[in-house]
């Protein structure tokens, strides 16, 4: 099981950008499409305190936020620490 989970939809360009960056950084991830999977939608709501936008990202089951928070972690060299 991947340590990173990206909640997304099929029409979200920022979700695509998030997945592209994760691939570029060599970070394995899984995608949960909340527009197609009701179980994923329930998990999304529970894990993200009711977030209303995608992408939302979990690392080791902990919510870190969206694309902005992910790139912030990377720029501050804290993402490597989380993934270490």
Average pLDDT value for residue range 19-27: 96
Query: Does 1 score more than 80 pLDDT?
Result: no
CATH node for 4-83: 3.40.30.10
Look at residue 46 in the predicted model and tell me its pLDDT: 96
φ/ψ of residue 77, rounded to 5:
60, 25
What number of helices (H) and strands (E) belong to the chain?
4, 4
Contact 27, 2 (CB under 8 A): no
Task: Work out the percent of the chain whose per-residue pLDDT is above 70.
Answer: 99
Q: How far is CA 43 from CA 30, 39, 51, in A?
A: 14, 6, 11
pTM of the entire predicted model = 0.93
As a whole number, mean pLDDT of residues 31-51 equals 96
């Amino acid at each position: 099981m991947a340590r990173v989970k990206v909640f997304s939809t099929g029409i979200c360009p920022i979700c695509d950008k998030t997945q592209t960056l994760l691939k570029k950084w060599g970070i394995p991830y899984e995608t949960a499409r909340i527009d197609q999977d009701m179980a994923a939608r329930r998990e999304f709501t529970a894990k993200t305190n009711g977030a209303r936008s995608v992408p939302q990202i979990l690392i080791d089951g902990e919510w870190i936020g969206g694309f902005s928070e992910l790139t912030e972690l990377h720029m501050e060299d804290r993402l490597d620490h989380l993934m270490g």
